[in-house]
Structure 1
Amino acid sequence: LTVFACVGIINAMNLIDGIDGLASGLSSIATGIYGISFLLLGEYAYAIISLASLGVLCPFFYYNVFGDVKKHSKIFMGDTGSLTIGLILSMLGIKLFTHPYDPVLNFQPAVLAFSPLIIPSFDVLRVYMVRIRQHRSPFLPDKNHIHHKFLAAGMNPRTAMVTIITISTLFTLINLGLSRMLNINIIVMLDVIIWLIFNSYLNAHIRRHKEAEAEARSAKKNH
């Protein structure tokens, strides 16, 4: 189970790296939460790894998003970067997930572990299921990831990136609040339901956007 979790998170971070700043932004949130959590739990070695990773991701995010290709100041993560970050996050997440409850932390460690990884993990599962349902190999690339959906809905890449990172942050904050009242299994079920409803709404919005574009092109031709 641990091996599948590691491979799943590594691939999720690799596949979510589709627009500037998205993978590094989501990873920054996760490493920041992990770093603070491990500090409060007294796991200083893991806190150092988390915060050191955050220290690398922050300047990378800046040059990835705001860098200028003409000035040779723009950098990209690539497969090596996203797979390495995925490996670090999987190790940190599993360590935090299996940590016993500590009243000093005041939250369930398991909820803190999986909440920042909801967006990439849920997205890769959805994409694989869609590909299998369409009788295609789950490993063949397509444009069905969450960032592709936001772009298809009419957002520009930077707005899509900020929106997805904001949604991930909201998921984490809501889960932390619910963890004081609900069992973790119920929280995961609620997350899945919210994710399915959100994707249904997004698909409907994409259809309306495409219909509006088609009508605009038709009206332009008639004129």
Structure 2
Amino acid sequence: MISRRNFLKIAGLSSVAIAAGFTTGKLTGNSKSVNFVLHGFIPADENVIADLVSSFKNKVKSSANPLIFSDSKIGEFVMRLHSQTSNNSYPGNGKVIYRIKRLNKQVDSDIIISDSENPIYSINDWNFSFSELRSKIKNRKADFLFTAEYREEDFISSLFKLNKKEVVIENEKGLVEKISLDKNYKNILIDGPQGKTGLKIENGIAQVHTSTCRHGICKHSVASGVGNIIACAPNKVLIKVV
């Protein structure tokens, strides 16, 4: 549910946008803003990573040069894969960002995807390549958290970037809340199919303190900078800083 503060902020920006020639449809979900994100808990398997990159590129169809953030040499491998499969005829012109982080301990492999229309897709909503890939890594242990994101932004989205950082919380039902990273909260409970995920925000840092799954891998990550993501695949919860 949108807060009164955010409603007034959007209403004010709506007036500016309409005066600049943007229609109200672009403010209500029908804009040119596009976002597609793949989150994967994946094994250290080059074939799996190659399939992920290929499926992602075929989905977003972008010829943009990627930004890659990685704490391992897997990042160099992803860059080579992306370059080898480049197609200058792709129509997409947004940003492509890969993030690869080695996990502190192995967990069950899984992938989840989201886009501008749905915060988290169920298995039945996925296209064949992602469903097949998820089946291949089932019952295997993951060594990395792999995130691939494609993002286009319209005029309104760019205006929102002028604001302070916010923590965006989503579950399988959609947007739960947007909270300023400047605020302090000791216990934010987020509903999911396995129960409640507990989040705290303190001193500009968001961190999960209560997890519903036995591995609790999401408790070992923090989010403080724009683009940081905490993902819980079993409970279908996404936490990101924008």
The bucket for the TM-score relative to the shorter chain is: under 0.3
Higher relative helix content: 1
TM-score by length of 2: 0.24
Q: Which has the higher strand share?
A: 2
**Greater RCO (CA < 8 Å, at least 6 residues apart):** 1
Bigger Rg over Cα: 1
